[in-house]
């Protein structure tokens, strides 16, 4: 997927950071520091930002997860996110997009929602072309709190990816 960003792939880390801040662990009970996963739970409750059948990219647009200062990078990022439905996931019967949306809905509706981290893994590896969601996980060694890790398959531009295996078609 890094091939979609092309010469702008150096921005991927900052796009991960935007997501990771929106879904971060609570900093404090101080009202002035309200945000992160606590705010996302409240927004989900009020507005149902993540819904089954709504692509992750549309919710990401609504939350400003493409940044605000570089329209080219933002639009490439949203193109990359829109492509998630063409990837398999680590859960049978769900493509990559559905896996992310379902994991976020489940987490945001949980009695004890976990902070979430968006990252990537090398899609050139065997079985690397899947969206992977791990929960609970410990993705940040200096934060001792369980998280949900969402890992997107990516590869450097110009590198050869293994042949894609289309996700199974859903029965209607």
Are the CB atoms for 66 and 60 separated by under 8 Å? Answer: yes
- What pTM was computed for the model? 0.87
- Whether the pLDDT of residue 165 is over 60: the answer is no
Question: pLDDT tens digits, residue range 136-157?
Answer: 999 888 888 899 999 999 988 7
Please classify residue 47 by burial: count the beta carbons closer than 10 Å to its beta carbon, then call 0-12 exposed, 13-18 middle and 19+ buried.
exposed
From the DSSP assignment, how many helices (H) and strands (E) are in the chain? 6, 4
- Whether the pLDDT of residue 7 is over 90: the answer is no
What does the pLDDT read at residue 169?
63
Question: pLDDT tens digits, residue range 72-106?
Answer: 999 999 999 999 999 999 999 999 999 999 999 99
What does the pLDDT read at residue 133?
97
């Amino acid at each position: 997927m890094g091939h979609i960003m092309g010469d702008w792939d150096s921005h991927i880390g900052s796009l991960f950071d935007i997501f990771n801040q929106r879904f971060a662990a609570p900093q404090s009970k101080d009202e002035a520091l309200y945000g992160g996963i606590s705010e996302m739970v409240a927004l989900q409750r009020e507005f149902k930002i993540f819904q089954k059948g709504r692509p992750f990219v549309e919710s990401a647009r609504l939350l400003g997860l493409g940044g605000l200062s570089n329209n080219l990078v933002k639009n490439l990022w949203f193109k990359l996110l829109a492509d998630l439905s063409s990837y398999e996931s680590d859960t049978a019967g769900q493509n990559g997009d559905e896996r992310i949306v379902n994991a976020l809905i489940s987490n945001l509706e949980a009695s004890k929602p976990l902070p979430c981290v968006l990252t990537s893994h090398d899609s050139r590896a065997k079985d690397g072309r899947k969206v992977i969601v791990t929960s609970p996980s410990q993705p940040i060694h200096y934060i001792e709190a369980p998280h949900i890790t969402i890992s997107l398959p990516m590869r450097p531009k110009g590198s050869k990816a293994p042949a894609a295996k289309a996700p199974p078609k859903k029965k209607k």
